[in-house]
Amino acid sequence: MEFIHKPVLLNECIEGLNIRENGIYVDGTLGGAGHSSYILKKLSNKGMLIGIDRDEEALKAAKEKLKNYNNVIYVHGNHDDVENILRENDIQYVDGILLDLGVSSYQLDERNRGFSYLGENGLDMRMDQTQELTAKYVVNNYPEEKLAKIIFEYGEERFSRAIAKNICKARKEKEIQTTKELVNIIERSIPRSKQKDGHPAKRTFQAIRIEVNNEIEPLYNTVLKCIKLLKDCGRLCIITFHSLEDRAVKKAYMEAEGKCTCPKELPYCVCGAKSYGKIINRKPIIATEEEIKENSRAKSAKLRIFERKI
């Protein structure tokens, strides 16, 4: 299957990065190079792009799409390791970083990867096919309490306990091997009258995917690291697709912006608050109705931008 990923909030990201033609930019979630191809159009031959992705199929597709550019460094890795990746390439600071979080259109549509609750495929859900932890392991080995907690916290699923209980009950009979088997268990766990808000398995699949790929836990620290890797006036643009991601990004931005907690009557700051820059948009930028009509996956997208000040 061809790796097609329609970039979300494309114009808003390119504008938000405020690209300098000779600058160094990082696309921490390269995917099919939808955003990166437009970043490169703004760069001169002296500029550089570092493209990072966990998915080797994505990197392969990006290399093909960007084959006419010789100022790209491709990295099979995780954006959480961005600091080490830059150091390994003798780069200390960059002019901008883009993170388009979550699962790509290709990964959702490529059913044998197990991200989709449609059809019948193996329980995988790994963005990086070289890692060991899979959805199959999570579903068949995690204790009931841990499963319930993950489904509730990462999926915001109010029937998490019933789903976890029924998963554990089913796996005692036989190992749960396919997405369809898991969907059937989830559907039995949620009352029919409550199955009106989209597909009943959507939240649980999201939760398991987040757990498998460790998408939330390191995000707050990753955002702070990215900000500290920016040059003066460099920009960090992050697109999130659900509230957990957005909350972590918003919290990190507020932390990085800094806020003095000293009493107003003091003539100068003694609390030690340090600011690394400013939040460009207090309210997240969302997709237009026109974009949502063309790409339904843009509906939940939120873009937040931070500018470094040294």
Name the domain boundary from 185, 213, 241: 213
For residue 150, the enclosing domain spans 112-213
pLDDT at 3 over 80: no
Higher pLDDT, 195 or 251: 251
Name the domain boundary from 213, 232, 255: 213
Is residue 107, in this structure, part of any structural domain at all? no
The pairing of strands 277-279 and 302-308 is antiparallel
Higher pLDDT, 80 or 259: 80
The structure's pTM equals 0.89
In this structure, of 199-208, 229-238, 252-261, the range with the lowest mean pLDDT score is 252-261
- For the chain, give the mean pLDDT: 93
Q: Say yes or no: 23 and 165 in one domain.
A: no
Q: How many domains does the chain have?
A: 2
Q: Say yes or no: 96 and 226 in one domain.
A: yes
The pairing of strands 285-286 and 302-308 is antiparallel
Give residue-wise pLDDT tens across range 99-132. Answer: 999 776 666 666 678 888 988 999 999 999 999 9
Q: Say yes or no: 139 and 188 in one domain.
A: yes
Give residue-wise pLDDT tens across range 172-214. Answer: 999 999 999 999 999 999 998 888 778 999 999 999 999 999 9
Is residue 4, in this structure, part of any structural domain at all? no
pLDDT at 57 over 80: yes
Q: Say yes or no: 265 and 290 in one domain.
A: yes
Q: Say yes or no: 220 and 207 in one domain.
A: no
Q: Say yes or no: 79 and 155 in one domain.
A: no
Q: Say yes or no: 125 and 91 in one domain.
A: no
Joined together, the tokens standing for residue 58 give: 């994505």
Is residue 145, in this structure, part of any structural domain at all? yes
Backbone angles phi, psi at 144, to 5 degrees: -55, -45
Q: For position 195, which CATH number holds?
A: 1.10.150.170
Average pLDDT, integer, range 22-47: 96
Is residue 5, in this structure, part of any structural domain at all? no
Q: For position 258, which CATH number holds?
A: 3.40.50.150
Q: Say yes or no: 164 and 190 in one domain.
A: yes
Label residue 1 by pLDDT band (50, 70, 90): very low
Give residue-wise pLDDT tens across range 128-169. Answer: 999 999 999 999 999 999 999 999 999 999 999 999 999 999
Q: Say yes or no: 93 and 231 in one domain.
A: yes
Is residue 3, in this structure, part of any structural domain at all? no
Q: What per-residue confidence (pLDDT) applies to 200?
A: 94
In the chain, the percentage of residues whose pLDDT exceeds 90 is: 81
Q: Say yes or no: 205 and 223 in one domain.
A: no
Q: Is the dihedral of CA 286, 290, 291, 297 positive or negative?
A: positive
Name the domain boundary from 213, 234, 259: 213
